[in-house]
């Protein structure tokens, strides 16, 4: 029995993941109001019955999708410095680009829809504030440690905040139109600043 | 007749302004979907009939409110450098604070709701993109000229972009919870950077 059930559980897990990922896509592309169980199921190519088996209500689906979304944002923010260039200007530039990448992906565009909805929905705000704070801490920690492995330089802590707030602003500017050319110049200007201040680390 | 009609025209103009200002408040506080003619009229203390006389459809109301909203953003962004301290570090700090103030007011919170709605609404996007671009140009121009009256220093142009993108990111961070304490540190860090780079101007 255990052997026979395993593939079905696996299929069920995969269906759930497809629905969550579809929910994030629908939020980012079509907005908060459009992310219903039916629309998310259709977008995922999953039957409405199967979707409702996993998520009986829109609230259950949205809550699970938000957890997944912030988990993914936190995971990409927590990437080990392993993939970065050796200490020096190239590493600083890579750290800034990594921060900006977090805020220009699908998860951020979905998160923006959720933030806009949460502005007038205290229950939703209570739900996402702890997730948002956990993600912000992870992003800050990753940025600090990539620039200063000791994590003890107060100046680096502050410059990492500036980097992430700038990245958030660039992410917002990218939601209406393709802002990549202008963004590249802003990223280069800020990276040059950081290189000048932090020197050869 | 002209004399008798003038006060009525004035009343009509004031009612229209109250409705537009109310629409921006409702957008910022209650979100995109909530900004109906009826809700905006009630919030303004204007009868529904009078509101519909000015704005027969939601689309007419929203379009006029967006024009007003971006006009106000553009006006606050275009403020003459007159009110700023004399050239030097204090002036640089005041310029950064002015930029951040633009993105932490009611108009920005309303604009955020509109941007979120426009992400999935091409018609709305076409409507607001030119307004948004006009505002962005005015904000950039004001920031550049306050830092460099000649407007010719390329480096100042780039640093003004960084300042405004950072301000936008800080504005977004302020929509979920009061972020003023953290924001003050980020503003101080970036202002110190600018003072160091630009020196005594």
- For chain A, how many residues are written? 201
Residue B133 has pLDDT above 80, yes or no: yes
Interface of A with B (CB under 8 A): 28-34, 109, 112-113, 115-121, 125, 128-129, 132, 158-159, 161-162, 164-173, 175-177, 182, 185-186, 189-190, 193, 197
Select the residue of B132, B169, B175 nearest A166 (Cβ to Cβ): B169
The dotted CATH code for A2-198 is 1.10.357.10
Q: What confidence tier does A77 reach under pLDDT thresholds 50, 70, 90?
A: confident
Å between A129 CA and nearest CA of chain B: 8
What's the confidence (pLDDT) of residue A30? 92
ipTM: 0.89
C-alpha radius of gyration, chain B, whole number: 20
Name the average pLDDT for chain A: 90
* Mean pLDDT of the B116-132 span: 89
Specify the higher pLDDT residue, B73 or B195.
B195
Q: Which residue has the higher pLDDT, A13 or A1?
A: A13
| Among candidates B112, B125, B170 on the partner chain, residue whose Cβ is nearest the Cβ of A165 | B170
Coil, helix or strand for B32? coil
Cα distance between residue B100 and residue B110, in whole Å: 16
List of residues 6+ apart from B56 with CB closer than 8 A? none
Tell which of B109, B162, B171, B181 to mutate to test the A interface (max A CBs under 10 Å).
B162
Task: Determine the average pLDDT of the residues in B42-57.
Answer: 96
Contacts 24+ apart (CB under 8 A), B120-128: B120/A29, B120/A30, B120/A31, B120/A34, B121/A31, B125/A176, B127/B63, B127/B66, B128/A176, B128/B66, B128/B70
State residue B30's pLDDT score: 92
pLDDT tier at B8 (50, 70, 90 boundaries)? confident
pLDDT for position A5:
62
Q: Give the residue from B84, B68, B77, B101 showing the smallest Cα distance to B168.
A: B101
pLDDT of residue B3: 56
Q: Token pair of B72, please? A: 């106000």
Q: Choose the weakest-confidence range: A73-82, A110-119, B81-90, B182-191.
A: A73-82
pLDDT, tens digit, 9 for 90 and up, residues A87-101: 899 999 999 999 999
pLDDT of the residue at B75: 83
């Amino acid at each position: 029995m255990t052997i026979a059930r395993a593939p079905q559980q696996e299929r069920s897990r995969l269906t759930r993941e497809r629905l969550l990922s579809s929910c994030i896509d629908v939020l980012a592309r079509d907005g908060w109001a459009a992310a219903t169980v039916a629309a998310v199921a259709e977008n995922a190519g999953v039957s409405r019955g199967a979707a409702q088996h996993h998520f009986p209500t829109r609230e259950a689906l949205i809550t699970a999708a938000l957890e997944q979304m912030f988990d993914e944002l936190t995971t990409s923010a927590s990437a080990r410095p392993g993939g970065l260039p050796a200490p020096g200007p190239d590493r600083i530039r890579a750290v800034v680009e990594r921060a900006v990448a977090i805020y220009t992906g699908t998860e951020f565009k979905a998160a923006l829809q959720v933030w806009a909805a949460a502005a007038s929905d205290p229950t939703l705000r209570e739900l996402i504030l702890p997730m948002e704070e956990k993600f912000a801490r992870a992003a800050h920690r990753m940025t600090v440690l990539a620039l200063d492995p000791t994590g003890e330089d107060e100046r680096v802590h502050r410059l990492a905040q500036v980097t992430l707030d700038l990245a958030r602003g660039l992410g917002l500017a990218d939601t209406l139109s393709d802002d990549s050319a202008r963004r590249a110049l802003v990223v280069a200007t800020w990276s040059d600043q950081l290189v000048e201040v932090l020197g050869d680390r």
